[in-house]
Chains A and B, each alone.
Chain A
């Protein structure tokens, strides 16, 4: 059990507090419920570019970082398909500085042209550094538009194309801010040696005066069922060929998610897992193999990715992967296998509670999923899944619909 207390301000800001007296630091996390799925298809990469602009000064504070550093704090942020997450840690004696900084950039930004111009360049370099100038860096730029044809998950958080980032203008920045950066679209969590009364006082003082936004209508085009196998092959100068297979799977907050996640664990979590033992150790046709779920709020992907070894062909690779997939569909997994993956989940949950920052992040995340109390129901959600339910889920995932396959072919001179 992870203890917490929570309250909601009049303007709709949800606040969660967790007390941990073992450290002199406090962690603060803010989720804004906006991600790349909310973008205009002609202006992809915007939510992430916007995250950079959140550090370019707010209405009363010209620089975000300097006063935070003066207070001994450190911060960072990330953006994904569904939400944007800002976090910081600060010595507990300077906690009010964190409330001051975060509330000011929720109140209004400075909207500086210079900041927009520079951050466009910075994000373009980030695009190159992580996606283009990197072996296998463009895999998801290729795989996502193959697997999704309608839903906004078809583009990546970094953006579909560099030109989209180049074209971002200040009016886009302002309207995006106005629509999404409001207290009723945010979740604030605080973890550390703090008490809820004091957090309530600080939250009311700094965030209370910020007006709510207009209720956001969210309508994401549902991805149609995939009845046909789709595949593409690309040739790249890399040392090893690689294969990526993606199947559609249930959204994060339904029972099907837990069943699917357990299937991925049976296949590839840990060195005793089926794929590690059969594909890496026995067949020796893979140097790496992994099966994982994307965990998106809308229907996500179940992905198997592997790098090929010892002259294995695309056909060899597919055959080995499909054999494991078919086995999951045809036969009940063993009882001790289910027990093993559940032990792992239980332990992981505990290990994720060993620092205040990860606790603050998790609390806000579960509140976004629907309710912070879900954080203490996770283990049960997994343990409730039976072997039979997993087999049925596998059939739904792998038999009733078809995958998208990206074959990343090495053309090498090694």
Chain B
């Protein structure tokens, strides 16, 4: 029989998202531990998530400096000793600080966990924040900031955040050159004391889980990291949005960075899943309307994407691209055109089904491997959910109709409600 190369082969029966919820344990100090037993390699990932992100700081740079300096000194370990220990056992210690949380992540061969756990315990409650290390850290970060500020993309990211949330909001604060001179060690000590507590944190262990892990965590973290009953977690409030359009001229720029968007809800909102689908249609995947229009039809950009960015208590929607400088105006017009098109024409079934299938694949894809499972679990846990959240979310997305999508577009994508930012060449001559 002649091979039919013109038609897509029939699809098999879809597999369903089904993941066992992690096993939950509680250490002596009340700290929750979630165990995700998966994979065949003898490797582990340990995440300690603390509600100690930048929204909780009084002075800029405090939260990130505290996070980064955890590996620059604790009682009994100085900076070079910590570095030796981590490298000797072939492990990686990353500390990432976002707006909401600080996360200590250790990647380690299972057989070496016990060598490193005492150090991790000390980082949580006996960090020393040496003055000298702070200076080195700040000097390096200042340079990094200066270099990044030369990138239109980075500049646009900072400015857009400020426009969307308002500078007075904890989510809208952005760095300035002078902030690097204002930070001092006492700010770090205070922030560490106020925010690094077991009732303000949880632990996720993923990989091949053995019986030794929980007792080990209990000895070096559960028994030593003392609870602080006085912690009150503030919820950051919204700021005031002022201007809706901003243009930052960079006369010699070859490309302009464009951001168009608006504040939107957090993940718990009833319209969240519908909006996620809408965003995918618009600019959330390679075949999206924006990509087809600006890249594949007009060739004026390497890429254009739209995003739903979620923090714990806030979120925003944005379209983001860098375009050929003399196509800045055309690109802005076409982005607005694609927003209105979603408000005036209902999506056809073929496109709707394609986007749904794509999202279905994306959900499955983000669960590739034990360490990815940990990543997914943390995102859900941060809003008080577990793996079941994803199944519910996906089921809802697969049910959305063209009419509902149309309604959602009319509710949230009005061009006149959008905030616009351009960094680069604004006046085309």
Contacts and interface: CB of A to CB of B under 8 A. Distances in A.
Interface of A: 20, 22-25, 59-61, 65-67, 69-74, 89-94, 96-97, 99-100, 103-104, 107, 117-123, 125-126, 128-130, 132-136, 205-206, 209, 237-240, 269-273, 276-277, 280-281, 284, 287-288, 307, 309-310, 336, 339-340, 343-348, 350-351, 353-357, 414
Interface stretch (B220-228, B353-361, B404-412): B353-361
Contact of B143 (A20, A97, A271, A307): A307
B12 A122 contact: no
B152 A355 contact: no
A351 B9 contact: no
Contact of B372 (A69, A336, A355): A355
B361 A90 contact: yes
Contacts of B322: 125, 129, 133
Contacts of B365: 25, 74, 89
15 contacts: A25-B368, A72-B358, A91-B14, A94-B12, A97-B11, A122-B295, A125-B323, A239-B146, A269-B87, A271-B83, A271-B86, A307-B143, A336-B88, A343-B89, A346-B109
Given A72-B360, A271-B87, A340-B87, A118 B299 contact: yes
Given A66-B287, A240-B147, A354-B371, A97 B9 contact: yes
B330 to A, nearest CB: 13
A355 B368 contact: yes
Most buried by A among B14, B150, B362: B150
Given A271-B86, A347-B90, A356 B368 contact: yes
A204 B38 CA distance: 34
Contacts of A118: 295-299
Contact of B80 (A91, A99, A272): A272
B301 A22 contact: no
Interface string B1-29: 00101101111111100000000000000
B140 interface: yes
B350 to A, nearest CB: 9
B87 A350 contact: no
Contact of A104 (B5, B297, B353, B358): B5
Contact of B38 (A22, A59, A209, A309): A22
A123 B301 CA distance: 9
Given A69-B285, A69-B354, A122-B295, 19 more contacts: A23-B369, A69-B355, A69-B357, A72-B361, A72-B364, A74-B285, A74-B365, A93-B11, A118-B296, A128-B324, A134-B151, A240-B146, A271-B71, A272-B86, A287-B143, A307-B147, A343-B88, A347-B43, A347-B91
Contacts of A238: 147, 150
B420 interface: no
A25 B146 contact: no
Contacts of A24: 15, 364, 367
A341 B91 CA distance: 11
Contacts of A205: 3
A339 B296 CA distance: 51
B232 interface: no
Contact of A92 (B15, B71, B82): B15
Contact of B5 (A100, A237, A277, A356): A100
B216 to A, nearest CB: 19
Given A71-B357, A93-B12, A272 B287 contact: no
A347 B368 CA distance: 19
A125 B89 contact: no
B203 interface: no
Interface in B331-364: 353-355, 357-358, 360-362, 364
A74 B358 contact: yes
B357 A70 contact: yes
Contacts of A94: 11-12
Given A66-B287, A356-B368, A239 B143 contact: yes
B412 to A, nearest CB: 24
A241 to B, nearest CB: 11
Contact of B255 (A100, A129, A136, A343): A129
Contacts of B368: 23, 25, 89, 355-357
B182 interface: no
Interface in B348-399: 353-355, 357-358, 360-362, 364-365, 367-372
From DSSP, what is the main secondary structure of chain B's interface residues?
mixed
Nearest to B88: A340
B300 interface: yes
A165 B89 CA distance: 47
B367 A23 contact: yes
Interface string B139-160: 1100110110111100000000
A69 B86 contact: no
B40 interface: yes
Given A118-B296, A270-B87, A354-B41, A125 B301 contact: yes
Contacts of A125: 255, 299-302, 322-324
A414 B298 CA distance: 38
A243 B354 CA distance: 49
Contacts of B367: 23-25
Given A23-B369, A310-B139, A272 B11 contact: no
B189 interface: no
A122 B357 contact: no
Contacts of A96: 9-10
A135 B364 contact: no
B240 interface: no
Nearest to B81: A272
A135 B143 contact: no
A101 B132 CA distance: 57
B192 interface: no
B107 interface: yes
B8 A97 contact: yes
B58 to A, nearest CB: 27
B181 interface: no
Contacts of B14: 91, 93
A239 B8 contact: no
A91 B39 contact: no
B152 A93 contact: no
B254 A133 contact: yes
Contacts of B107: 347, 351
